[in-house]
């Protein structure tokens, strides 16, 4: 996990966090332009995330929910003022992009797949996002209408020659998407925390909720392709997850949504 030492003064942050910041060594741990993430090195560690107002509420709610299942960090504070601020305890260990894990790709692939299957077998009563597919499809529609189309992240473009072809596929098959498992929503190596190969928790849960398992399966195969620089582990991942629950055609439908962001 990226950590860059920062020189900060506490009054750059909301007053609720001044006391904690004043006794912490602070690192920038951000990995996307949409949010700023600070690692506060004291008392075992904390993460303080800042993003535009209103954008972290779902993540806070889902992190609390996953924490009740022993799957995520404890949410210590959430505030929506000029910006949103989310303070969580640190999940022990390192994420799956650590060299220790990347150097054993078969073991990593199997762990990632079996951990995902275990997540999808859990009950999801009380989940604060009971129908993730509704917003998932709405986002795809909005971005398609706005001209957003990026197939560069996906191997072989999943056979789509254009945005129109991808959209037509999604439109024809969207009725097949289910909301019947608890999703992570962004199931990638940086979002799974291990400690000496023992699972410790998930992070970055803002896209989670109850939805179609193929969303997580799609991202599970993609992250192995992206982080290991090879597509050689796709079939191994699907085998380890369990092909009894996988419809390969649905992965292409998910790809048709994901090219729109």
Q: What does the block give as tokens for 257?
A: 């949504």
Report the helix count and the strand count for the chain, using DSSP H and E: 9, 11
122 CB-near residues (< 8 Å, 6+ apart):
69, 182
Q: What does the block give as tokens for 204?
A: 């970055």
Instruction: Measure the CA–CA gap between 136 and 171, rounded to whole angstroms.
Output: 13
Q: Are 203 and 191 in contact (CB under 8 A)?
A: yes
Closest CA to 130 of 190, 67, 196, 58: 58
SS3 41: strand
Specify whether 239 is catalytic.
no
Q: Are 197 and 102 in contact (CB under 8 A)?
A: no
Question: Considering 95, 186, 204, 212, which one is annotated as catalytic?
Answer: 186
Closest CA to 184 of 79, 96, 93: 96
Distances (CA, A) of 57 to 10, 38, 54, 131, 137: 23, 18, 6, 16, 20
Q: Residue 230 CB: number of other CB atoms within 10 A? A: 12
Q: Are 78 and 55 in contact (CB under 8 A)?
A: no
Query: Active-site positions?
Result: 186
């Amino acid at each position: 996990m990226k950590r860059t030492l920062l020189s900060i003064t506490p009054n750059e942050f909301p007053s609720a966090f001044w006391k904690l910041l004043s006794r912490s060594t602070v690192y920038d741990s951000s990995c996307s332009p949409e949010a700023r993430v600070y690692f506060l090195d004291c008392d075992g560690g904390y993460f303080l995330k800042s993003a535009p107002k209103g954008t972290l509420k779902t993540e806070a709610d889902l992190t609390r929910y996953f924490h009740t299942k022993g799957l995520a960090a404890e949410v210590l504070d959430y505030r929506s003022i000029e910006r949103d601020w989310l303070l969580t305890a640190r999940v022990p260990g390192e994420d799956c992009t650590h060299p220790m894990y990347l150097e054993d790709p078969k073991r990593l692939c199997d762990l990632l797949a079996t951990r995902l299957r275990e997540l999808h077998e859990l009950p999801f009563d009380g989940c604060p996002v009971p129908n993730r597919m509704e917003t998932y499809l709405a986002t795809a529609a909005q971005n398609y209408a706005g001209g957003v189309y990026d197939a560069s992240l996906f191997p072989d473009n999943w056979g789509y020659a254009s945005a129109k072809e991808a959209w037509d596929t999604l439109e024809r098959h969207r009725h097949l998407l289910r909301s019947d498992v608890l999703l992570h929503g962004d199931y990638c190596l940086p979002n799974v925390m291990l400690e000496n190969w023992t699972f410790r928790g998930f992070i970055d849960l803002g896209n989670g909720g109850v939805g179609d398992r193929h969303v997580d399966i799609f991202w599970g195969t993609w992250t192995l392709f992206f982080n290991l620089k090879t597509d050689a582990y796709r079939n191994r991942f699907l085998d380890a997850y369990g092909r009894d629950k996988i419809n390969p055609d649905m992965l292409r439908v998910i790809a048709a949504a994901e090219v729109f962001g």
